[in-house]
Amino acid sequence: MHVGVPLKPNRDLGHLWNYKRPSGSLYFQIQNKIHSIKFSLQICNSYLPKFMAESLLFAFAESLIAKLASRAVEKASLALGVYRDVQQMKKTMALIKAFLLDAEHKKPQNNALSEWLRQIKHVFSDAEDIVDNFECEALRKHVVNTHGSISRKVCRLFSTSNPLVYRLRMAREIKDINKRLDQVAAQRNLFGLQINDNDMRVVHGRDMTHSYVNASNVIGREHEKKKIIELLLQDDPDKSLSVISIVGFGGLGKTTLAKLVFNDTNIDEAFPLKMWVCVSNDFELRNVLIKILNSAPNPTNGKFKNFDMEQLQNCLRNTLKNQKFLLVLDDVWNENRVKWDELREIIDISVEGSKVLLTTRSNSIDIMMRTKSSNSCVLKGLSDEDSLYLFLKSAFDDGEQKKHPQLVEIGKQIVKKCGGIPLAVRTLGSSLASRVDRKEWEYVRDKAIWSIPQNEKDILPALELSYDQLPSYLKPCFACFSLASEDNDVSSSYLALLWDALGFLPPPKEPETIHDVANQYLRELWSRSFLTDFLDMGSTCRFKLHDLVRDLAIYVAKGEFQILYPHTPKISEHAQHLSFIENDMLGQDLVPTSLRTIIFPMEATNDAFLNTLVSRCKYLRVLDLSYSKYESLPRWIGKLKHLRYLNLSGNKKLKGLPDSVCKLQNLQTLDLRGCIKLQELPKGIRKLISLRRLLVTTRQTHFPDSEIANLASIETLELYSCDNFESLFEAIQLCSLKFLHFSGCGSLKFLSFQVIKNLESLVIFKCSQLELSMGLGNQFPNSRLKLLVLQSLPQLVTLPQWLQGSVNTLHSLLIVDCNNLEELPEWLSNLICLKLLIIEHCPKLLSLPDTMHHLTNLEHLEINDCPELCKRCQPGVGLDWYKISHIKQVIIGEVEQ
């Protein structure tokens, strides 16, 4: 059970649902000032991190080869008479892909190998454009056959202009791709690369650890040490071997903390036998058994190397027999449960009180290795005070900091970028040891961490281990974090749109959605400690991104993802994803024609640049014009046939969209939130047959229900400040719709339950006229709802009866700013799948149902700004505390005195 204080109130839950610039937006500002040339030259002689955008190439190759094998490409290539050439393209790509992992693991440090990988990326990107061209034409043909006129339907397949010219052009481009592929494939032997076609997630570079530590050099871990010792010493009711885990991000000091515990005198007294084993990436049972035996007192060195498995396990069990032991398994990466079960069977000899203490970066390993009596310590960063103390100790000799108060002030600012990670604090502090030049300190303060001189055991090598361990399919998704904002809160729904548009996600399997796939990727990144404060809400999730994780992502994506600051010298020739920070930079250079992503700055008004961009960058997948000041868009935006994501949110001057937008048959997301002058949606929106997400603010009085009903792929529909709608979806069904969001639709009175019953997520915000019972009365037909948010609804007095139809599905319930809510009904306890419940600013809600203890799956309860209810739920003393004391994490707001 964890009891905490609430986060700062956020009543509009803007990081998930408001149409203000999303907290996970692609915009962010970081200071980057001119530094001392003398100091920067030292980087050349320091540890150079090995990350580069080429490490994303294997995942790209896998995705592209899968596309080439698709039915759509096969059909298109047969129609064009280029089937053999396409098959040859796929074959050569597969050959090249077989060498890419070896190239990645070698971490290319010579220019020739790096250039070879860049050439591969270029030719693969051009090949992807051809493959997407096939898909575009197939979609166009489908639209013509379904929605076109009789005269259009007689058009042939691939009839964009002249079918013969198109056929010849495509054949020529494919032959050119094959020629370039043959050239780069022939060069592979120059680099001594070996075939490695399996992504084994190899971990490199971690030195073996030992158990010794000088406790006087460890700062700020007394509380954690005490907690772990208490867990190790407590009696276990089931008498079985228990596992205590120390879990956390690289560089937090997990091993150091384990050493502190291992060498404590209380542990010496409690455990007659102590063993320390650094596992790292070697979890082969034979090797682990030998390491454990060698770590036991008085082993015969080398004796066990010639033992077979039977001898090893007998010897170890005899060593452990009748001994209460502590076994430390340091730096565990193994995620194979079978291997852990094999080891546990051998070492679990039923000696009461024996314990295993492990350190790992992976939450999933912690979960996998748990027993009934297991516990874990999720290691957090140091406090600001402890971080500063450690930093000054690393940067100055004893007492010297008193002579340099200005440097100490800069040091306080440097420490903030470390986020409490001891290894980062020591890295930056040590880089300034014996230096008193203020410019050098300012340089460290203002530069990204990879620009700081590094040694082999500093923070970047520690981060590299976690990045190397990522499977290839997660690496491009991780690179997208380089575009996250500085405010830390990131929305999973936003990332799902971006990853999907850029082709980083595989097609979902029925009945999953792209959001489900994206959430699974995020859970995996969380399990590897890249994400913090992770809150799973069923159909979506929210989390925070550590500054150092963002810094790592920026470096990993370097060259391919580029943020253009005022001081940026030029656009990289290898850039595929550009974000402009300032409006006056839009005309600086012509952007590369091969760009996949363009993010405009806020308040952009440069019409000439927009026209140039639309005409030049015909392969764009993502175009973000949010919070610009355009009144209209160029008609030829319809020529961006590869476009998947078009964000126009917050454009308060936009009055209309050209009908040519409906030619974007690949478009998956159209975001028009906050376009308060938009008169109506473009005519022919039914032709956007790939559209999955439509987010709208419009002045029109009638929603085009019939047009939307034709969108077979639509999954998400969000309506913001559509004040002229009174009813919706009265005569239609939207079977594919999974996410429905209403915000500020003040005139909306009726919504058909037929739409709701298939939903997974429903958000109703500031819709004061909406009849929440949906006309069902006491009926509660079955529904599939996983997430329900009821916010700023004065008409809500109790929960609607139909919610009982979600008894087997509802995962998360959020009730916010409902001033007249008087009760939570007793049947709330029937929602047996409920895991998260948040109640905020509901002043008339006085108590919780007596049956709350029946919600055995409820893991997270947060109550804030509900005066009487907060008083009754105070931990240990509140009248309702007994109802919720079983919940794993309870966050109760402060009670006014």
Q: Are residues 238 and 310 in the same domain?
A: yes
- E strand or H helix at 133: helix 111-147
CATH of the domain at 354: 3.40.50.300
Q: Are 272 and 385 in contact (CB under 8 A)?
A: no
CATH number at residue 797: 3.80.10
DSSP string covering 331-400: EE----HHHHHHHHHHH----TT-EEEEEES-HHHHHHT--TT-EEEE--PPPHHHHHHHHHHHHS-TTG
Whole-number Å distance between alpha carbons of 31 and 410 = 14
Give the pLDDT confidence of 696-750 residue by residue, as tens digits: 999 988 888 888 888 888 999 999 999 888 888 876 778 888 999 999 998 999 8
Instruction: Count up the domains in the chain and report the number.
Output: 6
Per the prediction, the chain carries an average pLDDT of 82
Residue 535 shares a structural domain with residue 604:
no
Does the residue 318 lie in any domain?
yes
Residue 700, domain extent: 559-720
pLDDT, residue 758, reads: 83
Give yes or no: residues 366 and 392 share one domain: no
Confidence grade of residue 206 (pLDDT, cut at 50, 70, 90): low
One domain, residues 222 and 238: yes
Query: Running DSSP on this structure, what letter comes out for residue 558?
Result: B
- Name the residue with higher pLDDT: 704 or 350: 704
Same domain for 160 and 276? no
Question: Average pLDDT of 232-239?
Answer: 78
Last residue of some domain: 349, 378, 407? 378
Last residue of a domain, one of 344, 378, 412: 378
Checking if the pLDDT of 677 tops 60, the result is yes
pLDDT tens for 438-471 read 988 988 888 777 666 666 666 776 777 678 778 8
In a 3-state reduction of DSSP, which class is residue 814? Answer: strand
Tell whether 167 and 225 lie within a shared domain. Answer: no
Model pLDDT, residue 272 = 92
As given in the structure block, the two tokens for residue 482 are 């380089």
Does 50 score more than 50 pLDDT? no
> Would 245 be classed as within a structural domain?
yes
* Residue partners of 869: CB distance under 8 A and separation at least 6: 839, 842, 845, 846, 847, 848, 863, 880
Joined together, the tokens standing for residue 210 give 């030992």
Q: Say if residue 109 is in the same domain as residue 169.
A: yes
Angle at 597 between CA 592 and CA 601, to 5 degrees: 95
Does residue 678 sit in the same domain as residue 569?
yes
pLDDT-derived band at 824 (thresholds 50, 70, 90) equals very high
Tens digit of pLDDT for each residue in 322-347? 889 999 999 898 888 898 889 999 99
Domain boundary among 378, 396, 421: 378
What is the arithmetic mean of pLDDT over 776-789? 87
User: Closest Cα partner for 757 from 725, 804, 712?
Assistant: 804
Is residue 657, in this structure, part of any structural domain at all?
yes
Does a structural domain hold residue 516?
yes
The residues pairing with 720 across neighbouring beta strands, listed in sequence order, are: 743
Whether residues 701 and 623 fall in one domain: yes
Q: CATH code at 603?
A: 3.80.10.10
CA–CA gap between residue 810 and residue 788 (Å, rounded): 8
Amino acid at 230: E
Amino acid identity of 458?
Answer: D
Half-sphere exposure of 391 (CA within 13 A, CB side): 29
| 3-state DSSP assignment of residue 774 | coil
Q: Do residue 357 and residue 249 come from a single domain? A: yes
Percent with pLDDT over 70 in the chain: 86
Residue 671 in domain? yes
In this structure, the answer to whether residues 625 and 651 fall within a common structural domain is: yes
- Please, are residues 448 and 555 in contact by the beta-carbon 8 Å criterion? yes
Asked if residue 93 has pLDDT above 80, the reply is: yes
Q: Look at residue 732 and tell me if it is in a domain.
A: no
Q: Does residue 300 belong to any structural domain of this protein?
A: yes
DSSP state, 561? E
In a domain, 464, yes or no: no
Q: How many CB atoms lie within 10 A of CB 203?
A: 16
CB of 199 closer than 8 Å to CB of 471: yes
Of 161, 357, 184, residue with least CA distance to 254: 357
pLDDT, residue 2, reads 36
What gap in Å lies between CA 685 and CA 634, rounded to an integer? 17
For 56, half-sphere exposure in the C-beta direction (CA atoms, 13 angstrom radius) is 25
Question: Quick check: helix, strand or coil at residue 82?
Answer: coil
What is residue 20's three-state secondary structure? Answer: coil
Residues 876 and 858 in one domain: yes
